[in-house]
Amino acid sequence: MPYDPSAFPPFAVTVDLVVLTVRRHALCALAVRRGEPPFQGRWALPGGFVRGDEDLATAAARELAEETGLHVNDPACPAPANAAHLEQLATYGDPRRDPRMRVVSVAHLALAPDLPAPRAGGDAHSVRWAPVEDLLGQDGVEAAPLAFDHARILADGVERARSKIEYSSLATAFCPQEFTVGELRRVYEAVWGVALDPRNFHRKVTGTPGFLVPTGGTTTRQGGRPAQLFRAGGATLLNPPMLRPEA
In the predicted structure, residue 205 carries a pLDDT above the cut 70: yes
Task: Return the pLDDT at 142.
Answer: 54
Q: Which domains are delineated in the chain?
A: 5-165 (3.90.79.10), 168-232 (1.10.10.10)
Residue 71's pLDDT is what?
Answer: 72
pLDDT band at 180 (very low <50, low <70, confident <90, very high): very high
Residue closest to 163 by CA, chosen among 220, 54, 74, 238? 238
- Rounded to whole angstroms, the Cα distance separating 154 from 152 reads 5
Between CA 158 and CA 107 the distance in angstroms is 12
Average pLDDT over residues 228-236: 94
**pLDDT 10s digits, 3-34:** 777 778 788 999 999 999 998 889 999 999 98
What is the distance of C-alpha 143 from the center of its chain?
A: 19
Cβ 188 vs Cβ 168: under 8 Å: no
Scored b (16 or more CB within 10 A) or e, 218-238 reads eeeeeeeeebbbbbbeeeeeb
Q: Which residues of 74-89 are buried (b: 16+ CB within 10 A; e: fewer)?
A: eeeeeeeeebbbbeeb
User: Is the pLDDT reported for residue 81 higher than 50?
Assistant: no
